[in-house]
Amino acid sequence: MTRLRFAPSPTGYLHVGGVRTALFNWLFARKTGGQFILRVEDTDQERSTKAYEQEIYDSLRWCGLLWDEGPDIGGEYGPYRQMERHEKGYYRDAAQRLLENKRAYYSVARVADPKTEVLRSDRYPEGYSEEEYLIAVKFAVPQGTTCFHDLLKGDLRFENQTIDDFVILKSSGIPVYNFAAVVDDTMMRITHVIRGEDHISNTPRQIMLYQALGLELPVFMHLPLILGADKTPLSKRHGGTSVEFFRKEGYLSEGLMNYLALLGWNVKQEVFQPLQELEDFYLESISNKSVVFDYKKLEWINGKHVRSLPVGTFSTLFKEWIDRYRKAYPEIAELIVRQPQGRVERILLAGQEKVNTFVQLLPLLRPLLAEADVLQYDEKWTEKYLKKPETPALLEKFEREFSKNPIDTYEKIKSIFDRNIEESGLSTNQVYQTLRGALTGSLVSLGLIETVDFLGREEVLKRIHNALALLKV
């Protein structure tokens, strides 16, 4: 059975590069009827936090990448944690085997000068106080060459003389990454290690450890890193990089996963549900070419998923999102809470076709849900339309029309606009934008006819009256 793992460190938010790696591991495990396992590599005790650990779980669940085994935590699988495995002595026992076979040794250094080794010993050195000395376990790199086959990059070769002896257990007894990964992957019976190509330099060290311990090697595959526009590894200087960032910005998990799948997976379709396309996934279909993260392309793909959602699902997901991030968007969250049942859904129905993310809905929602007296007017509108000499007469004419004519259907509202545009002699754009700004304060809004229908007669008249009052200021 194939067994794959995703092993993040809880030292920061989950990076989209990590999620893409998890996705490819998950897809291969599912395609082959294998298992996908989550292991938290929390040996960096200074930077690891429970908050980041929880964020990793939440992000993976939101992305749909559920893992298959681990400690039972109330009816669902928890992850494996390296520090818990450390406490059980797994790494210490493996290090002891290497010490007994002369493949590792104790390295002693002064606390005041930890980079200078003062003693190398096959036995634990007696008589050295921990206040003055650091006693670690180092692996003795053998002479020769270390070779391995990478499924993506082919045969790779490393001269051992270019690699110095390296620490496997710190003076605290906590294992370093390369050693812990080998022990864990072996004990977890991992068959394939699929990870970023930034780990290639770690692989020869890990292979030496596998061989020294007499262990079978897994299959290795190193994925090209996701790059920013400047062709350097994607980082915060390029923009948001974490799952949490895109979730907060109102992206759908389907949109994000679709885009990440495209960053390396050669597939025929561009918009699809990657978690449902198992039959088309092969490790051979992953490209070895560098990939650049395109924020605009991600937004476009997400918009396709937004517009494919059933209206009820779109509304439900939006409300769950705004409830989760109410501290980030307190004004609009409060406005939504105060709305009568069904009123917000009417706006969402009109807005779903116009936006690519939930965040893009907020400036469309705000002017429709806020009170007329607190409406803010965009300076671009006041300068370009409100101050035109024909604007007062135009607004007064529509004020009269909306007062005496029914505006309870789309067709009736449209007929008012069509008739008055013809009578005014003005362009459709000028009439629509003048009224749009008077009713919403902005040149960008939901459809104007939908806006009038949503606001209703009383609110429309109040807003036109307030716009006319601006001309008298």
Candidate list 236, 380, 387, 388, residue with the active-site label? 236
- What is the rounded distance in angstroms from the CA atom of residue 243 to the CA atom of residue 8? 13
3-state secondary structure of 288: coil
- What is the rounded distance in angstroms from the CA atom of residue 222 to the CA atom of residue 17? 12
For 400, the token pair is 């009269």
Q: CA 280 → CA 97, 164, 219, 420, distances in Å?
A: 44, 43, 21, 56
Nearest to 111, CA basis, from 137, 134, 81, 80: 134
Nearest to 8, CA basis, from 73, 46, 55: 55
For 37, the token pair is 């396992």
- What is the rounded distance in angstroms from the CA atom of residue 422 to the CA atom of residue 399? 17
C-alpha of 67 from chain center: 18
Q: What are φ and ψ of residue 371, in 5° steps?
A: -70, 150
CB 11 within 8 A of CB 162: no
For 336, the token pair is 């939504």
Nearest to 178, CA basis, from 193, 191, 189: 193
For 280, the token pair is 């088309």
Residue 31: active-site member: no
Give the CA dihedral 282, 283, 286, 288, nearest 10 degrees: -160
User: What residues contact residue 59 under an 8 Å CB cut-off, 6+ apart?
Assistant: 13, 14, 19, 242, 243, 244, 247
Q: What is the edge-to-edge ordering of all strands in the sheet holding 192-196?
A: 80-81, 35-40, 3-6, 192-196, 219-223, 145-150, 154-159
For 29, the token pair is 């495990």
- What is the rounded distance in angstroms from the CA atom of residue 432 to the CA atom of residue 349? 21
Q: What are φ and ψ of residue 245, in 5° steps?
A: -60, -50
Q: What are φ and ψ of residue 375, in 5° steps?
A: -65, 135
* Residues designated as active site: 236
